Amino acid sequence: QVQLVESGGGLVQAGGSLRLSCAASISIFGVNTMGWYRQAPGKQRELVATITSRGSTNYADSVKGRFSISRDNAKNTVYLQMNSLKPEDTAVYSCNLYYVGLYYWGQGTQVTVSS
């Protein structure tokens, strides 16, 4: 059973920064792609950013230039650095990985950006 535990969420003013962490219970060295997703109240879950085992990254247009995804295979952790936060970034942020034929999700961490 793979477990993902997110942390680092909280309440921040617009323009502020937060760094989210996602710790996996397995070695992520061989995991190809890991990602961060978010879901705001009343909206569908959307992709925020992904990172491959080679370090290639992909971002949603709404966060390009503001968010940065990274991974530390030695710590089995993926990070999401969020800068210049906007009220519309308010959501529950969850990390995801695909492993041995299954997708796994963390429980999520709440990010609230006040105007």
pLDDT at 30: 81
pLDDT in tens, the chain (115 residues): 899 999 999 999 999 999 999 999 999 988 889 999 999 999 999 999 999 999 999 999 999 999 999 999 999 999 999 999 999 999 999 999 988 889 999 999 999 999 9
Question: How far is Cα 71 from Cα 23, in angstroms, rounded to an integer?
Answer: 10
Question: How far is Cα 73 from Cα 77, in angstroms, rounded to an integer?
Answer: 6
pLDDT at 56: 95
- DSSP 3-state percent helix, strand, coil across the chain (nearest 5): 5, 55, 40
State both tokens at 76: 């089995």
DSSP state of 25: S
